[in-house]
Amino acid sequence: MELRPLGRSGIDVPKLCVGSNVFGWTADEAASFRILDAFAEAGLTFIDTADVYSSWVPGNSGGESEAIIGRWMKERGNRRKIVLATKVGSEMGPGRKGLSRTYIRSAVEDSLRRLQTDVIDLYQSHRDDPDTPQEETLNAYADLIRDGKVRAIGASNFTRERLESSLAVSKRDGLPRYETLQPQYNLYDRNAHESELESFCLSQEVGVIPYYGLASGFLTGKYRSEADFGKSQRGGRMGSYLNPRGLRILGALDAVSERYGANPAQVALAWLMARPGLTAPIASATSVEQVADLVASTRLDLDADAIKALDEASSEA
């Protein structure tokens, strides 16, 4: 499995990241274990989660995904083989959110306990916190790295302006810097990242690990009319994608898939993996069968003609 660097952190990861927001939601613990086993057997050992997953499910309070991953790693005895990424900052309850020094110190202990580990490889600010000085946040992370509880830090959902100012603070004050950025980015949702962040991340050697790599499932080709929206719990999100441009993208995915003997999901992820500066797209599965598709995407190298066809079909011009 090809490995790629996580920014300047010295950590290398496979070129596809296992998303785990489905654990404790559309995949129960037994299914999650089977899915994680299949990923690990294929060499996909970079796992992304967050403390808030999956608090949106009735009866959940957050931390369910981390806890499942922690029990799986303990049962399999494979923690040293896993590159583990989680996040802090999203609301976990009244007064439990943000990137203040006090909250980060508390939240990391909760995540370490649920994950049953003594160190998090990549600890990410889940979303920007404009009410907390960036110096305070980065000093909190510096403490965690010094204490051996975190190896590297990353940012998620940051604008270029805020990422740039954070990197400047890190350089000025000799503090740890965000080694990765986790933006929403896929073959449909291109403009925000490519116009503002892509070239900046390249110039600063910030690794990019985008989420929604399959546009909540639209790029699998499963949703081609409103009648298809009932096929999954995410079907309600498809209305924003099902338009002339979305259908044009699906047509291009179909054509490239036929050329390569692949399917649209594999091609959409392979397109992402070929983008400049991209470390590893995040993709999740709710079954072992879906894992096979995702693994196959890592073995698919698109040629220039295929990439051009996808670029043109997804252009927003």
Q: In this structure, which amino acid lies at residue 207?
A: G
Domain presence at residue 127: yes
Give CA torsion, residues 311, 215, 7, 18, to 10 deg.
-130
- What CATH number does residue 9 fall under? 3.20.20.100
Domain contains 243? no
Per residue of the chain (317 residues), give pLDDT as tens: 799 999 999 999 999 999 999 999 999 999 999 999 999 999 999 999 999 999 999 999 999 999 999 999 999 999 999 999 999 999 999 989 999 999 999 999 999 999 999 999 999 999 999 999 999 999 999 999 999 999 999 999 999 999 999 999 999 999 999 999 999 999 999 999 999 999 999 999 999 999 999 998 899 998 877 766 666 666 567 778 989 999 999 999 999 999 999 999 999 999 999 999 999 999 999 999 999 999 999 999 999 999 999 999 999 86
**Total number of domains constituting the chain:** 1
Q: Provide the whole-model pTM.
A: 0.95
CB 192 within 8 A of CB 164: no
Helices (H) and strands (E) in the chain, counts: 11, 10
The answer to whether residue 8 sits within a structural domain is: yes
* Longest alpha-carbon distance in the chain: 55
Cβ count within 10 A of residue 265: 23
Is residue 239 assigned to a domain? no
**Residue 199 amino acid letter:** S
Give residue 59's domain range. Answer: 3-182
Residue 267 lies in a domain: no
Residue 134 in domain: yes
Cis upstream peptide for 156 (omega within 30°): no
Q: What is the pLDDT of residue 228?
A: 62
Q: Would you say residue 246 lies in a domain?
A: no
Q: Is residue 157 part of a domain?
A: yes
What pLDDT does 227 receive? 64
Instruction: Give the burial class of 71: count Cβ atoms within 10 A of its Cβ; 0-12 exposed, 13-18 middle, 19 or more buried.
Output: middle
What is the torsion angle, in degrees rounded to the nearest 10, for the CA atoms of residue 143, residue 149, residue 150 and residue 155?
-70
The number of CA neighbours under 13 Å toward the Cβ of 182 is 23
- The residues annotated as belonging to the active site are 53
